[in-house]
Structure formats: structure tokens, C-alpha cells
Structure 1
Amino acid sequence: MIIKRFVIVDLNNGLANEFNFSPNSNVIFSRNGTVGKSSLLKSIYYCLGMDIKNFTKTWNYNQMIFKIYFSHNNQDGWIIRHKNFYKVYDTDAPLSESEYSRWFTKLLDMQIKIRIKDSENLSQVHAAAILSLFYVDQDSSWKGVPFRNTANLNWYNSKDMPQSIFEYVLNLKSNEHLEKEEKRGILKNELSQLRNTCNSLIALKDQFILTNKRNLVLDEDGFKEDLKKYLLILESLNDKISTYNEQIYKKQVELDSLKLELRELNDILKCNNKLYKNNSIKCSKCNSFLTEQQSEERMKLDYSSFLLSLNIKEIELKINEAEQSIRSLLDKKLGLDKEYNKLSKQLQMKSSRSSINEFIQSLGEATSQDKYYKILGDLEIKKSDIEDEIKKINTEIKKLTEEQNNRRSEIDSYFTDTFNKLASNLPSVDRDFKFLKFNQIKNSGSALNQIFLVIYLTYIKILMEYSSVELPFVMDSIIKDELDGDVLSGAYSLVNKIFLSSKKQTFFAALDDKFQYLTGKCNKIEIKSDQKLLNKKSFDRLKKEIGLLNV
């Protein structure tokens, strides 16, 4: 993917701007800091789907609309983001975050699945997880575990991140491999539960078999107390059922209101689209073009349709949440209804016994010795079947791993060679880092800055050489602590050599005085200190452009 152009429109303040990029190196620079270089780079990746953690407080991104024009596999396209909704060039309706993630991974031909947190189940990877490998943030990327703090990835298992994403984009693991690991994990959990059940049955063997030899003693007072307890439990269940009925009624009222609002919005949108179609670009009789005022009206109708579509999407999401909530409440209520009916029947049965003694004797029916051994035998057979299936899957995983080991060995060697070469240019970087081993970096100050820089540049170099996914690389500044002259020169020399001299598309932020370290050709985009990143003069033109979604 190559980003060709980026448009920002601030709806509330009437501000906008556009930026054109080179397919190779792009350096966003200014004479002074705090003018918006970082906000621009963060916004590019935010528009692509990143969950950026650290926008500056003055950058009100939630009231802005962002539009990226890109090319990918010789196909031009665009992406619009406004809050948590997206619009893309080949889909009419706005997309939610999850819908956009599916669209984005399909665009990149990357249908990777990752384990969900605290589970062996796999889930389609979020766009932010892929993007986090290609984006080094000025604020969040220089502490903790490399690549792990850039985006909010809390829904995945921390021990899998970012290793699992790297393994996929570097073709070190396939979805087939991941699915077999998922199945093995589920079977292991099932096997563990079966073993626990078998062990419990064995431990309770004597008590279980001898139950039918016990002499039962009649306790009339205890039986009466038992009946009282049943009545109290039934009363409690009835109260809970009434509470669920009230909650279901309130949710149903809310749902009906949302559905009515959705119908009204759809009617307005249909009317708006009809007006838009009637307001044609050319006159149907004389073929003359619309006047500027008529064109402006047409743009407003189109932009209004876009905002209505976003509103409709938001209402649809609320309707879905309300329906899910009602289904959940109904399921819980159904469970209570079944329990209530069961206890009612038991209470009725107890009360209708001809004698308390007859009822007590009926409770004395015990499981026979034969039934005990049959249950245990069935569990042992099931346990053996699962163990055989796990062995079979282990063999298949081993075969897949062996097929990928040659490539892993090649990239591992490339990592070590590249890391050591880069580290030799900086004084405070150890050589004990291993490929795809991501741990907390324990250091401070300038040394910490140097270690992170070498790690990021090494993995960027690996992605440039071996990645199956083509995305632009962003490095939003490299200086978190003051560096002396030699270290500063060495650090920028590495950025120049690895990051800016590549034929891949890259984005880098720097102050004007750092160009003494940056040689070679690059597209320089200056953010002037006496001007803001956005301006008023571009607003009307770019607002119309973002509004032209159906032309």
C-alpha cells in the first residue's frame, strides 16, 4: 500500500488541509517543535485503523474527518474515518470498526487469526494489530516491550503479541498451523477436565458404591424444614424472574424507540438521495452544467447523506446491542423459569407422598456398582481417544514447523547480523537480543533510547526484506532523551541508512537542524512554525471533496 494524499477536515472549527506524499521517503519537518508533525503522522495511521493512545490534547481528532488516497496492487482507492466509523471506496454503506478490520485485512490479503485473551479460541486479527508493526510512535513506543504499547491490543493474549503477527507477516506460520494449535489447546482443556472427573470418581469409589447399603433414618422435623426451604427458594426465584421481566420490558421499549428512529432516518435519507439524483450535474433538456449555487446545493445534499449514513450505522449498532441484551436477559430468565418449574414439581411431589417415610425411602435409591464402573470405563475410553487425537495433531504441527524452520533460520540469522551491525554504531546497546523474543527493556535515559532504536530499525529492515504485507513505515521521531553529538550523529546515520534510503514508502519526523545527518533524496514537507497544521482557506474546497462520496 502506498499513501498518495491525505486530507483533514475539522468540522467544528472550519479548518482543513491536504498533504501529498512520495512513494519513497517523506520527511515531515519544522524549525521548532510542537507545531503538529506528530499529530499529522498519528492521524495518518489513525485513519488506517490504529487506536492511537497519545494524541495531544489540542488535536481534537474526534471532530475531524480524515481521508487517505492510496494505491495497492495497481488499484487506487480511498479510506475515510470519522470517529469510529469508516467509509471506503468500494463499499456504499459506512463500516463499523469490526467491519472495517475485516475489509482492511481482506484488502491486504491477510486473513490471520490470533488467540483471544484467556482462551484457546482464535479470532480474526484487528487492523491495529497489523499496523502496530509498521508504526513507531513518539510517545508510546519508547518504553516497556517493543511494539506492544503502540496500540491497544488488550483483547489478545499478551504472550502472543507481537510475535504471532510477525510470524504471520514473515510467513513463519500459516493459518493452518494456528488452527491446529487452537484445536490442540481445546482438546488439552477437555482432557484435563476428564482426568479431574476420573480422579474424583476413583477417590469417591467406596462412598459411591456403598451408598445403597446405608440405612436411612426418618427425621420428620427435618423434612418439614426442608419443605420451608423449598418455599423460600421458590419465593426468591419468583422475585428474580419479576426483576428480569422489568428489565426486558425497559429494553424492549428502548429497542422499539430505536427502530422507530431508524425508520425515520432511512426515510429522510431516501428523500435526500432522491433530491440528490433529481439535482443532476447537467440539465436533462439542454445539457448545460449546473450553476455554482446549484452545485453547492448538490454538494450539501451529498454531504448530508454521508452524515445521515453514519447516524444510521450508529443506531443500527445500538439496536444490535439492545437485541443482544434482550436475548441475554431472556436466556437468564428461561433458566430461572426452568428451575422454578422443577422445584415446584418437587415440592408438589413431596407434599403428595402418602407418608414421609415412603418419600425418605425413595431418596435411598443409589447407583449400583455396575453403573459406577460403566461410567468410569466410558470416561477412560473418551480420554484415550482425545490423547490419540492430540498425538496426531502434534505430528501434523511438527511437520508444518519443520517446513518453516529453514525460513525461520534464515531470518533469524539476518536478524542477528543486522542487529549487531546497527548496534556497533551506538555505544550503549548490548548484543544479547534474540529474534522474536519480546521482553521489557530494562534500562534508562540515553541507553534505553539507543536500544529501542536498534530494535525497531532491525525489525523494520526485516519487514522490508521479508514481509508478505506492504504498508508504509512511520517513525515519529527517535529522540526521547538528550544524546551527545557522536551518539546523535550515529543514531541519525542509522535512520538515514535503513529507513530513508529504502525503496519502500517511509514517513519520518525531524527538526530542520537534523538534515545535516540526513542525506539522499526525500520528499520534504515543512510545517511552518508561524502557521497551524490546518487552515481556513482550504476548508470549503476540502469539505466538498470529502462530501463527494457518490459522484
Structure 2
Amino acid sequence: MNKLVINSITIVDYQNEVANKFNFSSKSNFITSIDNGVGKSSLIKSIYYTLGAKIKSFPSGWNFKEYTFQLDCNVNERNIIIKRLDNVFITKSEDIIQSFYDEKSFSKWFQDILGMNMLLQTKKSGKFSLAYMNAVLVPFYIDQDNSWSSFYRDAIENVDMYNGQPKTIFEYYLGLSNEKMYSLEEKKKNITLKKNEALGQVKQITNVYDSYSSEKKTEGVDYQNFEKERAELEEYIRITNELSVKMSKILKKIAESRTRINIHESDLSEVKKLLSLTRKRFKDIEYRCTYCHSILTKEQSLARLELADNEFELKNRILKLNKNISEETKKLEKYKENFKLLKINFDERNDKINKLKMITNIEDYVSQNVLAELRNLISKYNFVANDKEMKLNQLKKEISIEKNNLKKRRELLNKNFEKFKREISDMMGEISLNDRKILNFSKVKETGTALNKSLLTLYLIYSNLVCDNSDILIPIAIDSFIKNEISDSNERRMFEAVRNYFISLDTQTFFSIIQKNMSYFDDSEVNTILLTKPLLNNKKFQEIKSSLIINY
């Protein structure tokens, strides 16, 4: 397991010559103040901003783009420093200082440091690529604003550039990612393609072998007069070898073209099935209820619109596949025509050679060479096909094992999810999450205190699941969850849940709380950072400024 721990954050405002440094415990840290508006949220947001998150909103007056931030961290026993000024990152690890001027390169450095390789599928290209820090940090930052109206979606910007988020992000941390399965299936697909190509070559060359052997009726070679005909023999061999190479290349192209057409036709069949299913689902959603004639809900309408979008994309895919099949068919016909011309050329040259002296003996000799070369090619491609078959069998075993492991892991995680849901729900009281399943990140349809309690319950559940099951741990932060007027009873229940299921986590945590609510906690359980105004001051500006790393 690789665990990131933040030892301190340094914030410097060069323009106003003010600064401050805040030290943290490796366990639970309470960011507190006597009143609101002191800077608790600004401090927590700044931590994750320095880690590379594009925070959706900072408190008014916190000019984060003009400040310089620096985190002193440990990854296991390894010390690292991360400094950020606007979109420039400077890092120090093992006395090596590096600068990064874009999110992609910094994210790669960060993931390498933590031993990560989070690959997510982008909506724009459909390809899998290394995730930016915005996605990497999603499970670990719960802000005071957007996180209490949506569920793991709006606290950090640009995460919606990926398909299936935040589900795919949590699957990565919980060990349920299909990344390995996807890689194995891709290998299987590629090896199957190469195996079929080899078998196609064997079939084509065998047909040529049988045809040629039958046509020439070769019985053996008499070499008594071979010396007299050496020149003719060498020319015959050269011509035969040349034609053999050309025939082999054309046959390979024919086999490859047929394989590509088969793949396109298979994909076309699958897309047509998907289009049929999409149209069926589209028809199932009426604009008015057939019983009471009421207007559809917003969610039903959106579902209908989404199906319409899917139908449009599927139709475009069908057009593209039909185009590919048409283009590939034309190529195949061209290859066949080339092969036909090559065969004519072959026959013409044989007619010329037939006029040579001692042609029977020479023809037998050359025919044997042709057949031997064809046998070698058949053996070569049979070997390739057998090798690919062995690799396919091994891959099938690996895929079966991986599927079984994923199934068992999902069952265990689901069991723990239900356990935490039951325990925390009982502690919270009066919340309706009975039907909520693991990795269901749909919007919580409640309001007021009920919404806060349900979201807090879910955040605590997933924080525990990640902490217990992930090989990568990043500090988890929960900003203030009290966004509505709540009763003393509900307040007590919510803070009790935080005490039992958040500050007890075996990872570094940050929690924002005003001083009066500290009565719900034992001071010995947490490291308290009491903030006062102004958050940045000039008392130790020069000393703090000099502690920042510099990349010359």
C-alpha cells in the first residue's frame, strides 16, 4: 500500500507580503475556528488545489491564483514537496527538483510517485488515457458547497470529461476496475486475429500446393544433363522464387482483407442489435402516461432524449461500418485481380521455359523447389497458428481467473457496503437508503436535513470502503456538512457518525468544524488547528518565504 500524508501546507502572498504555515498530524485533523468566515474552507480547498485539483469555487477574497502554495508530504517513508503557482507545479523528491507546466505531466509524476496507473475513457475520443488529478482526487475531497447538493460530482471541475465517472474512478480504487480485463480481452482479440490470419494463409497455400502438384505431375529429377542447362535452371529458379514471393504477399493481403471484412460485419451486426434495443427502449417511454395522461417527469424525458442521442450515434456507426465494408470489399477485389494477373504472368513464363532443352528434368527440379517452398510456408504458418492457440488458451485461463476474482471482490465489497449502510443509517436515524446499491452514484432525491444526513452517510460509507480496500490512500477531507437548520438530536447523531466512521479511519483526514461543536469530540482523538483572522499575516513572511523550493 502507498499512502500519502501531508505534513504541512505553506501559503505565501508575495504581493501583500503575508504568509502562513500550517502543520498537520498523520491521523485526524480538525480545522476549526470560533466563528465562520475565518478561512477553514479556504485552507482545505488550498490543500487539494495544490495537489492538482481544479476546485470549482473558492471563498470570496481568497486570491488563490496569486498565491504560492507548497505541501510537504510523505509517501510511506519518502519525502516529497509539491509547490504550485497558478498552473505551474514544482516538485522535489530525493533532491531532484522538477517543473511541470500542464496538468497531464504533473498527474503522470504524481501517479508514478504513488504507484498508480489510473486509465479512464474520455468522452471525446473514446480512448483510455492517464487520468488527470481532477479525477484522481474525486473520492478524497468533499467540499462545503457542491458536495452537499450532488453526490461526488461537482466539487472538482472537468471530471465529466470521462465516461462512467465517478463509478469508474471508485472501481479503480476498490480493485473492481475492468482495466485488466479490458487489457486481457484486447490481447485475446489481437491474438485471435493473428491466428485466423495464419490459418487463412495455410488454407490458401495448401490449395496452391495441391493445384500445382496435380498440374505438374512431378515424379523426380534426373541431373545427368544438369550442367549443360545450368544457366536455364538458375533463371528458372529465380523466376519461380520471385513469383512465389509475390503470390505469398497477395494471398496474405487477401486473407487480411477478408478478416477485416468479417470484423466489420460482426461489429455491424452488434451495432444493429444495439440500435434495435435502443429503439425498443425509446418506444417504451411515452410523452404522456397511458393511464392518467400526466406529463412525463424530467428524468423520464431526459432518459428519452439520451436514447435519442444513442440512436443517432448508433446510426452514424452503422453508416461508418457500411462504408468500411464497401471500401474493404473494393480492396479485396483489387487483390484478387492482381493475383489473377500474377497467375497469367506465371503461366506465360512457364510456356517460355517449356522451350528449353532438357525441359522435363529442369521442370521437375523446379517444381520440387516450388513445392518445397510451399511446404515450408505451410509449416511456418501452422507453427504460428499453433503458437497463437497456446497463447489463447493461457489468456482464456487468465480471463476466467480475473472474472472469478472480480466477482468475489465485488461480493465482499457489497457485503461491507450493506454493513456500513446499516450501521451508519441506524446511527443517523430516519434516512431512506435501503434501495441504494453499491456504486450507484445517482442523485439523492431528498431535501434539507434528510439530504445532508443521507449524503453524509454515503460519504462515510465510501470513505471506509476506500480506506479498507484501496492500495492507494490519499488524505480524505470533509468540509462542513451543516448547511441547514438542524435539531440538536440530528446534530448529535451526525457528529457521532463522524466520530465513529471518519476520524477513526486508518488514513489522514481533514474535517472542518466550528469551535462550539468540538464538544462532541475528545481533544485527544484529533489534532486541532485553530484558525484566526487574518489567515495570512506578515509575522514570519521572510522566514516562511525562504522555505519554498526554487527551481533555477
Contact between 1:117 and 1:154, CA under 8 Å: does it hold in 2? no
5 Å matches for 1:342-361? none
Q: Match for 2:473 among 466, 470, 474?
A: 470
Residues 1:451 and 1:155: Cα distance change in structure 2 (over 3 Å): closer
2:530 is matched with which residue: 523, 526, 529? 526
1:109 aligns with 2:115: yes
* Cα distance change of structure 1 residues 490 and 181 upon mapping to structure 2, 3 Å threshold: farther
Against the structure 1 CA distance between its residues 469 and 62, is the aligned structure 2 distance closer, same or farther, given a 3 Å change threshold?
same
Whole-angstrom CA distance in 1 between matches of 2:267 and 2:478: 51
- Whole-Å Cα distance in 1 between the matches of residues 6 and 66 of structure 2? 23
Equivalent in 42, 55, 59 of residue 56 of structure 1? 59
What is the Cα deviation at residue 515 of structure 1? 1.1
Alignment CA distance shift 1:494-1:68 (3 Å): same
Paired residue for 1:152?
157
Specify which of 418, 426, 432 is matched with residue 420 of structure 2.
Answer: 418
For 1:536, the equivalent position in structure 2 comes to 538
Three-state SS of the structure 1 residue aligned to 2:547 is helix
1:259 match? none
Structure 1 pair 164–196 and aligned structure 2 pair: CA distance change class (3 A): closer
Give the greater-gyration-radius structure (CA).
Answer: 2
**Contact map agreement 2:134 2:159 (CA 8 A) in 1:** no
Distance in 1 of aligned mates of 2:88 and 2:26:
27
2:62 aligned counterpart, secondary structure: coil
2 CA distance for matches of 1:390 and 1:47? 46
- The alignment's TM-score, normalised by the length of structure 2, stands at 0.61
Preserved contact between residue 415 and residue 435 of structure 1 (Cα < 8 Å) = yes
Q: How far is the alpha carbon of 1:480 from its aligned partner?
A: 1.6
Which whole-Å CA distance do the structure 1 matches of 2:440 and 2:185 have between them?
Answer: 20
Compute the displacement of 1:54 (Å). Answer: 0.9
Please report how far the alpha carbon of residue 85 of structure 1 lies from its aligned counterpart in structure 2 after TM superposition.
0.9
- Determine the structure 2 residue equivalent to 1:168: 172
Change (3 A) 1:154 1:162: closer
- CA 1:522–1:64 in 2, change beyond 3 Å: closer, same or farther? same
Q: Deviations over 1:165-191 (max 9, x none)?
A: 21221222363223356789999x997
Residue 300 (structure 2) aligns with:
none
1:28 paired to 2:31: yes
What amino acid sits opposite 1:152 in the alignment? E
2:96 maps to 1:94: no
2:136 to 100, 121, 130: 130
Q: Report Cα offsets for 1:386-411 as digits up to 9, x if no partner.
A: xx999999996554222221121111
What are structure 2's unaligned runs of at least 5 residues? 194-259, 271-328, 338-388
Matches within 5 A, 1:9-48: 9-48=12-51
Amino acid at match of 1:9: V
Return the offset for 1:92: 3.2
Q: Please give the per-residue CA displacement for 1:497-549, whole angstroms capped at 9, x wherever unaligned.
A: 11112342111010111112123521111112xx2110012221111211555
Mapped to 1, the partners of 2:12 and 2:41 lie a distance apart of 17
For residues 173 and 476 of structure 1, the distance between their equivalents in structure 2, rounded to whole angstroms, comes to 28
Task: State the 1:439 CA deviation.
Answer: 0.6
Percent of pairs with identical residues: 31
> Do the aligned partners of 1:121 and 1:182 also contact (CA within 8 Å) in 2?
no
Given that 2:159 and 2:165 are in contact with CA atoms closer than 8 Å, whether structure 1 keeps it comes out as no
C-alpha change, 1:195 and 1:509, in structure 2 (3 Å) is same
SS of equivalent residue, structure 1 residue 462: helix
**Aligned equivalent of 1:202:** none
SS at match of 2:146: coil
2:134·2:156 contact (CA, 8 Å) conserved in 1? yes
Q: Aligned to 1:70, which of 69, 73, 79?
A: 73
TM-score by length of 1: 0.61
Residue 459 of structure 1 corresponds to which residue in structure 2? 462
Gaps of at least 5 residues in structure 1 are 200-366, 376-387
How far the C-alpha of 1:137 sits from its partner, in A, is 0.8
Question: Would you say the 8 A contact 2:98–2:551 is kept in 1?
Answer: no
Distance 1:488 1:469 in 2: 32
